[in-house]
Structure 1
């Protein structure tokens, strides 16, 4: 199958519940090992090595961890921008300058405290790293359902390296998708970087 598959919202809800349950069962040791492996793979990827600006995010809970990745990107001389969740679930962006540049925000998130760069700042990134719960082999990403990253990805120029960070077993043959869902060009897992197109 290719492209978005028609679905009812119930299929997405069921898939999200299943994936979140599986994530909650992961040990902190597994989460930490996955974070290190994903960071190693991404920092070795030619798209990331060439990038001047990387749009990323601060992981929460049992998401594949990004804390070390963010600092390693900064240490490698990359400009890192992180999302700031707006009341309408859209994403503004601000620069990351290390852990002390983050503050607690709504929904248990950590966000950068610097000056907002605007909704379109994501379009200036050479690499866009996004969260997700799963991805299909064609690059259709299943997120948490707020639509924030689908809106952000709609602003990213075609050809930009867009990559979802996942565990190996979250790359699936298919995921429920709708026409507004935006595909990504790759997935980074502990097993490596999988490019879709």
Structure 2
């Protein structure tokens, strides 16, 4: 009769197999303690100390030694000398061309034309008032009614600038009206100073060309 396996040997074999399996496995991940290097802490402390010293000692009433050294006066630019010419064409390009177009024809049904417009070639004082205070509501131009809005430029442009842009449009696209003077614009500004809202189109401005 053959000998039966020794249970203790079988258990020992299983234990050896389990130990070998565990040996083949990697250790469970764990987090090691890694303190910040001392030289990094020293650099941070030095930067903080330098920043504090700079803030305390830097003059606040002088331009900085580095970076943008422009003053407020530099940003405002050089004041225009009295009597210096103003480029009306450039002002038209920056303030008017989006609506009235470079051709002066405007956009049909939306923005009225300046070419041949009775409002442009008529009274210079009234043209100045329109630019200064703006217009809303129905406005008839060359027999066509427009119902839109033109912004006021009194706060954006000075008298000489409004005179220049008006003189420009009154001499372009076949228009032959006389130039507008800054004095005319100044008088129109004073006359309409109390206005709180734009002109109400034809109802407020009367007949075009008058």
Q: Shorter-chain TM-score: which interval? A: under 0.3
The structure in which a higher percent of residues are helix is: 2
The structure in which a higher percent of residues are strand is: 1
Higher normalized contact order (CA 8 Å, seq sep 6+, divided by chain length)? 1
For the pair shown, which has the larger CA radius of gyration, 1 or 2? 2
> TM-score by structure 2 length?
0.22
